[in-house]
Amino acid sequence: MTNSIRIAVDAMGGDNGPRVVFHGARLALRERKHTRFIFHGREADLRPLLDEFPELKSVSRIVHSDNVIAMDDKPSNAFRKGRGNSSMWAALESVRSGEADAAISGGNTGALMAMATFCLRPMEGISRPAIAAIWPTLRTDIIVLDVGATVGGDAKQLVDFSILGAALARALFDQESPTVGLLNIGTEELKGHDEVRDAARLLADASGAGFTYHGFVEGDDIGKGTVDVVVTEGFTGNIALKTAEGTARQVGTYMRNALRADLLSRLGALIAGQAMQALKRKLDPRNINGGVFLGLNGIVIKSHGGTDEVGFKAALSLAYEMARHRLIDKIGEGLRRFPTLPAEARPTPQTEGNPA
């Protein structure tokens, strides 16, 4: 019999309130019957919603938390006021205690990263955690990180991200030696910042220890799926992510407008119904919602704060798959296989004001 996967949910996080969370959980449960939910938040707000979605009742429970972290709180202030008594902290604590297999929140990104790092601690050998996104491409899904956890980063941190991304690719895609590329402004060896070039030398020397180093990749290589894992620092990665999401929405809007232009266009859309639906799903950013916090001693998923129930379902499904594939164990295995790399002088990373 398949073991249940227990997901702790910060039900108060996000822009659209807990109704989206419960609706998304109902959709996720329909696809993954072995999911169990622990909803953290104000019981007076959550209990009526659980009554409204009766199919969730037998697989869920509510844990009351008084405090809610606001989306516009500075991470440092949110950490001080939310540690110990907020719905966000309680969800993370349930992972640390072993009560849950994964935690998910649509709340303040900077606050979630600060709390998760303090509560779950980085894995041995990892200097900073990263946020990884699953990215659809012309070839297949790939992994891009960091997409917003750390602004700036030295060579050691970029190498850490490469290790983490390769481990995630092995866990998700069952690849023995995924290809890793460093995002740069060109593929020539002399291009880019010193940190990127230094990381390239370290990765080239270590290639074969759980991954294959491809070299530098450019922005258009992400969509092509040139490599299995694209590595960059959080400022650039977050801009790339938001640009791709905006472009997908733009193309989707163009298509809808074109197909509604006249009767002939509508007839053509009707004839190509299945193909159009498949394309629509591919272009819908909600279907790839959810960033994985990599490098911590526990699984944490960050949902977009403004997503709807479809997007939240996707983030819950991602949390389920991470736990089912034993992500933390596989990252640990990858770290043990990787040779010890020299620690370099590290500038203090910027974490305040991370995009949500």
Report the pLDDT value the prediction gives residue 84, as an integer from 0 to 100. Answer: 76
* Nearest of 129, 55, 44, 51 to residue 92 by alpha carbon: 129
Residues of the chain with pLDDT under 70: 1-2, 259, 265-285, 337-356
In degrees, rounded to 5, the angle at the alpha carbon of residue 241 between the alpha carbons of residues 235 and 244 is: 140
Same fold for the domain at 1-124+295-324 and the one at 127-293+326-356?
Answer: yes
- Quote the CATH superfamily of domain 127-293+326-356: Isopropylmalate Dehydrogenase (3.40.718.10)
The count of other CB atoms within 10 Å of the CB of residue 110 is: 23
Instruction: Spell out the CATH class of 1-124+295-324.
Output: alpha beta
**Predicted structure pTM score:** 0.82
Report the pLDDT value the prediction gives residue 176, as an integer from 0 to 100. Answer: 82
Report the pLDDT value the prediction gives residue 280, as an integer from 0 to 100. Answer: 58
Domain segments of the chain: what residues?
1-124+295-324, 127-293+326-356
Q: Do 41 and 62 meet the contact criterion of CB atoms below 8 Å apart?
A: yes
pLDDT tens-digit map of 154-172: 888 898 899 899 988 887 8
Report the pLDDT value the prediction gives residue 2, as an integer from 0 to 100. Answer: 55
Report the pLDDT value the prediction gives residue 346, as an integer from 0 to 100. Answer: 35
